[in-house]
């Protein structure tokens, strides 16, 4: 994919996930951006799972999920996977919305 990609999320994503219509601009190669991030799942009462920048975190029941950029060593009790493009974009949108106080 190109070095600069623009992704528009349709209204159906907004309805399903609580994110308004918007556009996200990814600055970098999409495959490289995906490789720089990890989707982490661990116990809700656990501390930070690893060194890295937490983009977005949420708790649900006894688990928490985090999107982390440039992760380090994973702590015991945590599982990870590389996010897909949709997860990456929606977590950045959620993080931006939370920062904006929406």
pLDDT band at 2 (very low <50, low <70, confident <90, very high): very low
Which residues does residue 12 pair with via DSSP β-bridges, in sequence order? none
Q: What phi, psi does 83 have (nearest 5°)?
A: -70, 155
Predicted pLDDT at 62: 92
pLDDT digits (tens, 9 = 90+) for 45-97: 877 676 788 889 999 999 999 999 988 888 888 899 999 999 998 888 888 77
pLDDT digits (tens, 9 = 90+) for 13-24: 444 444 555 566
Phi-psi domain of 67 (left: phi exceeds 0; alpha: psi -120 through 50; beta: other): beta
For residue 10, what pLDDT band results from cuts at 50, 70 and 90? very low
Band (pLDDT 50/70/90 cuts) for residue 26 is confident
Average pLDDT over residues 34-42: 92
pTM for the structure as a whole: 0.71
Q: Show the CA angle centred on residue 19, arms to residues 16 and 23, nearest 5°.
A: 120
Report residue 33: phi and psi, to 5°.
Answer: -60, -40
């Amino acid at each position: 994919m190109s070095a600069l990609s623009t992704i528009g999320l349709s209204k159906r994503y907004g309805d399903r996930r609580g994110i308004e219509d918007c556009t996200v601009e990814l600055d970098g190669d999409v495959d490289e951006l995906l490789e720089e991030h990890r989707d982490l799942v661990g116990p809700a009462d656990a501390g930070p799972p690893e060194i890295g920048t937490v983009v977005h975190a949420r708790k649900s029941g006894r688990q928490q999920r985090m999107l982390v950029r440039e992760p380090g060593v994973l702590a015991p009790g945590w599982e990870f996977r590389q996010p897909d493009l949709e997860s990456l974009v929606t977590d950045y949108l959620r993080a931006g919305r939370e920062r904006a106080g929406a």
